[in-house]
Amino acid sequence: MNINWFKYASPASFYPLAGKMIPWFAIPAGILAFIGLVMGLFVLPPDFKQGESYRIIFIHVPAAWMSMVIYLAMAFWAIVGMVWNSRLSAMMAIALAPTGAMFCFLALWTGALWGKPTWGTYWVWDARLTTQLILLFMYLGYMALHAAIEDPRRAARASGLLAIVGAFNVPIIYFSVQWWNTLHQGASITPNKSEMAASMASVMLIMAVAAWLYAIAVALKRVRCEILDRERHASWVAELVTKTGQVHG
Amino acid sequence: MAEWFDMGKHTWFVWGSYGVFAFFIVAELLLLERRRRTILQRLSRTSRMNSGVNDET
Amino acid sequence: MTVIFRTILVRELTLGLRRKADMLMTLFFCVIVASMFPLAVGPETELLRTMGPGIIWVAALLASLLSLERLFGGDYADGTLEQMVISSHPLAMIVFAKVVAHWLLAGLPLVLISPLLALQYGLDGDEGLILVATLLIGTPILSLLGAVGAALTLGLRGGGVLISLLVLPLFVPVLIFGSAAVDDAAAGLSIEGHFSLLGAMLIAALILTPWAIASALRISIE
């Protein structure tokens, strides 16, 4: 069996493929999120130590994971785009960024709201929260650079390079922040993994998978927009528009 | 029903988290759909414009 | 290879020394920022002593950001940079020479002035010396990483602010280890680890960033 993967590396053939793939990710994401929410919010009893506030963990942890994973995925697509000089990979990197930044912000927000009842303060300079904040700055810098460059080719390549440099730095930043944190004996959030009940862990896992599928579905949808925008002068886009134009009347 | 939403003294924290989370997800989906629609509209407008030019010539 | 390095270095230094005002402005900025903090937080000696290393580091960091736009800006405007990119000499070597010259003109003066700032914050004796040493290792890293940002934002509107957005998050590890070394020395702890980590970061930056800067310039010039 010899699938020609490079066929799908061209935006023209990836556009319809992405359209067909979206429901395969979006529908399971919706179902899993629904199950996870019902379990996490209504079925599971309150935690004996943290009370009701532990329910925030079910969205906080997946958001934090996704923000890291999406940054790495961005850097991965940027590297692929740079090595094979493929436009589609560069578009994938750009399509992922807003979702990653959103999850990054949500991880900070839910972390703050979880911290208030748990430690009595909205913000602590904990190693993970601080790294998350710096990661948010890196997302914003990436998107600002991409938005500031008008030439789409230069924008894609420049922001791709920034993503790669940033991805090399994320582990160094995490390590240094953690070290800085222990030095200053700040608070450390370690949701005790050994203590976590199996039911709680499974809800968290369900929510994480849902977030993962959601991110893929949204990135595919956004990459379709990106392709249409970038390829608007291509003949296949014109054909597509006349076809859908008839459908819409 | 109301007791489901009652999270004791943590109501604001839990629903504040979930509410903002839901808001962002919905907002992202709506913005994305709107972006798609604007792009398609603009493209169909330009294609109609171009075909009009072709008819005249 | 060394010939091109020396040629560019001499050229950059000559050009830079002809515009001493640029150099002095950066320096003055650093001094004035560092002098604002005591006015804002109050003159308590103990407070200033604990905050001093951090403040001087942040001031040096901001000052080195200021001069970044000039690093490639002038050569970009008059087309010299394009000639450098298409020349047969390795671009990484050319940009490395440019960054070294930039550090000698913008970074080294900050290092040399820092003992004075340290005195303002009551960091006399060993702590002041350690601060100077951390800045000596740390500011070249700032110049090298900053040059990547400068190359990426070449010719863009609002480039100066954009550089800061891109580069400041990357400066975090240097800032942490640099100022923590002084804090720990004051607390009587061993600071060998800080210096070896800063040194490791410097070596990694020396090896990796010239390539990143060169490819960023190629992207921006094309």
Assess whether chains A and C touch, using the rule of 3 or more C-beta pairs within 8 angstroms.
yes
> Which amino acid, residue B56?
E
pLDDT interval class at A215 (50, 70, 90): very high
CB distance A238–B39 less than 8 Å?
A: no
Distances (CA, A) of C154 to C20, C80, C85: 23, 13, 14
Residue A35 within any structural domain of the chain: yes
Mean pLDDT of A126-147: 89
The pLDDT of residue A247: 46
Interval A54-82: pLDDT, tens: 788 888 989 998 999 999 999 999 999 88
Answer yes or no: are the C-beta atoms of C35 and C120 closer than 8 Å: yes
Residue A5 within any structural domain of the chain: no
CA distance A227 to chain B (A): 10
Distances (CA, A) of A247 to A218, A244, B37: 24, 5, 14
CB distance A157–C219 less than 8 Å?
A: yes
Cα–Cα distance, A224 to B28 (Å, whole number): 15
Interval B13-56: pLDDT, tens: 888 888 899 999 999 999 999 999 998 888 888 877 777 665 54
Answer yes or no: are the C-beta atoms of A143 and A115 closer than 8 Å: no
Domain extent for A215: 21-44+54-183+205-244
CB distance A161–C165 less than 8 Å?
A: no
What percentage of chain A reaches a pLDDT higher than 70? 87
List the beta bridge partners of residue A51: A47
Task: Identify from C50, C69, C152 which residue to disrupt to test chain A contact, counting A C-beta atoms within 10 A and taking the largest count.
Answer: C152
Task: Identify from A32, A96, A136, A221 which residue to disrupt to test chain B contact, counting B C-beta atoms within 10 A and taking the largest count.
Answer: A221
Q: Chain A window 118-157: which residues touch C at a Cβ cutoff of 8 Å?
A: 134, 137-138, 140-141, 144-145, 148-149, 154, 157
Residue A200 within any structural domain of the chain: no
Q: Which of C66, C60, C99 is nearest to C205 (CA)?
A: C99
CB distance A173–C172 less than 8 Å?
A: yes
Residue A227 within any structural domain of the chain: yes
CB distance C177–A176 less than 8 Å?
A: yes
Answer yes or no: are the C-beta atoms of A129 and A113 closer than 8 Å: no
In whole angstroms, how large is the CA radius of gyration of chain C?
A: 18
pLDDT interval class at A7 (50, 70, 90): low
CB distance B44–A113 less than 8 Å?
A: no
Token reading at C207: 């090896």
pLDDT interval class at A20 (50, 70, 90): confident
Question: What domain count does chain A have?
Answer: 1
Q: Determine the residue of chain C that is closest to A151 in CA distance.
A: C220
pLDDT interval class at A164 (50, 70, 90): very high
Residue A100 within any structural domain of the chain: yes
pLDDT interval class at B8 (50, 70, 90): low
By Cβ distance, the residue of A141, A164, A177 closest to C176 is A177
Interval A91-103: pLDDT, tens: 999 999 999 999 9
Distances (CA, A) of C186 to C107, C123, C181: 25, 9, 9
Chain B CB contacts of A143 below 8 Å = none
Residue A84 within any structural domain of the chain: yes
The pLDDT of residue A179: 78
CB distance B13–A242 less than 8 Å?
A: no
Q: What is the pTM of this model?
A: 0.88
Token reading at A175: 């390590």
Residue A11 within any structural domain of the chain: no
Mean pLDDT for back-to-back runs of 10 residues, chain C (222 residues): 86 86 87 90 84 90 88 86 86 92 91 89 83 92 93 84 90 88 80 87 92 91 82
Q: Would you tell me how many other CB atoms lie within 10 Å of the CB of residue C184?
A: 17
Break chain C down into helix, strand, coil percent, rounded to 5: 85, 0, 15
Token reading at A150: 């008008």
> Is residue A51 helix, strand or coil?
strand
The pLDDT of residue A112: 87
Chain A CB contacts of C212 below 8 Å = 161, 164-165
> Which amino acid, residue B25?
I
Interval C152-185: pLDDT, tens: 998 888 778 899 989 999 998 899 888 888 888 8
